[in-house]
Structure 1
Amino acid sequence: MSLKICQIYKLNTEDSLIIHISNNTNLYLILEGALIISKVFTNQEILTLGILTSQDIVSIYFDDISLPNYFYQVQAISETYIVSINSNHAFFFQEMIGIQYKKTWIKYQTMIEILVHKNIKNRLIHLLLVLSETFGITNSKQIYINLTLSYYTIAIIIGSNRNTIGQIINHLQKKKLIVYNNNQIIILNLIKLSSYKYEPS
């Protein structure tokens, strides 16, 4: 029986791939869309590693232990198409994978820069600034972030909870910095939002 080298999948918003050490046999290239990749521990803690977009590579690494206390979750935050490439045949795409992985690594570094903030408000604002650059559609002075993001999804990304995210978003709305409606975000004033990180909570 021949083994397929690659296969294309469609993920709808909030669809997920769960990758354990036992089924970690593929690389994934994002053709279109956006994913968040998270490390999920058996104690239910979640660490988001990055927000990946078109042409990024999802390549999973497990520590050299037989029964790790974590798995990886790859969740779509928009309609997403990916190519699954069997790792045994990755050498056919070696040059392309090498180039794209360097670009993907920058996304992981960006997530570290978001999570390094101790203050959750500052994490959220930093996230909104990153999303506005990657997914933003400018209309007059406003920026519409072209993603559907629930409180829960935002909380997973920045390591918080729904209640805290709701409180911060309501506060930012009262300050007329953003609008949040039906899981959609509009940034009303990018400059003021950026500088608001440095104001005391």
Structure 2
Amino acid sequence: MNWIIFFTKNQISYHVYKLNEGDSIILNRRKNTNTIIILTGIISLAKIFCNQEILPIAILSNNDVITNHENGNTQYCIIALKTTYIITVINQENTKNCYPIKIIKYYENTINRYEEIINLMNQQNKKHRVLIFILLIFLRFGRIKKYNIFIPFKLTKNCIANMTATSIDTVSKVVKKKYIHEKGKVHSISIKNLKLI
């Protein structure tokens, strides 16, 4: 859906922001009450509690919707995994009656992304959690070329550690043992000799 045309046509105020790879935004309920829609790109979303504990929420991409809910002292952190454009809706009071039915589909897609991470976090074995997360990313964003699967961005070990609630050492051990090509960042996985059980 072309959100800019939709918002302009319905006279809804909005801002478009560009996030370069690695850029982050902290969403605080008191300061940010706007709905955010990802126009293009890929981001990770995590909840930060007042004790600085991080809870991974989802990996989101095109047309996924983020709304900032009242959650006490918690904040949300958005980190761009590749160059990303987001649009924020400024005056939400005027928008409730003119959202198209399609937005329900986009909300459902976003909820499915949340459930992927919830299911991942239910995995008790940390090494399996890291491997499942990496395979999930390659399944969603990967392109096959000969015996390799490539993703269109570099997945850092720090991002993998945050999104799987593990340490960078655990991520490094898993990456070394599997057929994953990395030089500081994961970019491709070999499927020629990879055996999935």
Equivalence for 1:100? 106
Match 2:16 to one of 8, 30, 49: 8
Matched, 1:155 2:145: no
Contact 1:125 1:193 in 2 (8 A): no
More helix by share: 1
Amino acid at match of 2:134: L
For 2:195 and 2:116, locate their aligned partners in 1 and report how far apart those are by CA, in whole Å: 18
Equivalence for 2:63? 55
Query: Equivalent residue of 2:143, what SS?
Result: strand
- TM-score relative to the length of structure 2: 0.86
Segment of structure 1 superposing worse, 29-38 or 185-194: 185-194
* Unpaired runs of at least 5, structure 1: 196-201
Query: Equivalent residue of 1:143, what SS?
Result: strand
Shift of the 103–50 alpha-carbon distance from structure 1 to 2, 3 Å rule, reads same
Contact 1:129 1:194 in 2 (8 A): no
- TM-score relative to the length of structure 1: 0.84
Amino acid at match of 1:26: N
Identity in percent: 26
Query: Equivalent residue of 1:148, what SS?
Result: strand
Query: Equivalent residue of 1:192, what SS?
Result: coil
Q: CA offsets per residue over residues 50-77 of structure 1, 9 Å max, x none?
A: 11010111112223xxxx2321111111
Contact 1:178 1:189 in 2 (8 A): no
Equivalence for 2:25? 17
Q: CA deviation at 1:94?
A: 5.0
Contact 2:180 2:186 in 1 (8 A): no
Q: CA offsets per residue over residues 81-134 of structure 1, 9 Å max, x none?
A: 111012333323353432210111111111112111111111111112211121
Q: CA deviation at 1:189?
A: 2.0
Amino acid at match of 2:185: N
Equivalence for 1:80? 84
For 1:4 and 1:105, locate their aligned partners in 2 and report how far apart those are by CA, in whole Å: 25
Matched, 1:183 2:192: no
Shift of the 191–47 alpha-carbon distance from structure 1 to 2, 3 Å rule, reads farther
Aligned length: 185
